[in-house]
């Protein structure tokens, strides 16, 4: 089992819709969770991080964390074509400084 799992996609949503991206992780000791956006040929760019169970909102983005079920999700409201990218989930476990990444989910927002 991979440490961090994401559906590779592509996930296609129409412009203006809500895009929902999911990530599961295997290590119950994981403490910090990060969502990065990566455009084709570019490096990952941090969108959000979340440490506590529940929701965290930042503009059109909402991160949701459920430690009991070991999943973290990212919702993108009012999706725009410019949101089309690969979204990487990263997890950091207590006691280490290593960020473990999933393979990413490719999102396509259709105009």
Rounded Cα distance between 91 and 101, Å, is 7
In the stretch 1-40, what mask flags binding to another protein with x, by CB under 8 A?
---x-x-x----------------------xx-x-x----
Q: Does 49 bind another protein (CB under 8 A)?
A: yes
Q: Of 11-19, 62-70, 73-81, 100-108, which part binds another protein (CB under 8 A)? A: 100-108
Query: In the beta sheet, which residues pair with residue 32?
Result: 92
Rounded Cα distance between 82 and 31, Å, is 30
- Which positions touch another protein (CB under 8 A)? 4, 6, 8, 31-32, 34, 36, 42-46, 49, 51, 88, 92, 96-104
């Amino acid at each position: 089992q991979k440490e961090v799992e994401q559906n590779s996609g592509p996930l296609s949503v129409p412009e203006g819709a809500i895009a929902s991206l999911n990530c599961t992780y295997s290590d119950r000791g994981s403490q910090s969770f990060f969502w990065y956006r990566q455009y084709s040929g570019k490096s990952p760019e941090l969108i959000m991080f979340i440490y506590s169970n529940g929701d965290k909102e930042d503009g059109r983005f909402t991160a949701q964390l459920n430690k009991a079920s070991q999943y973290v999700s990212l919702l993108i409201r009012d999706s725009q074509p410019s949101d089309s990218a690969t979204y990487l989930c990263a997890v950091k476990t207590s006691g280490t400084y290593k960020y473990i990444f999933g393979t990413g989910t490719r999102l396509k927002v259709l105009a």
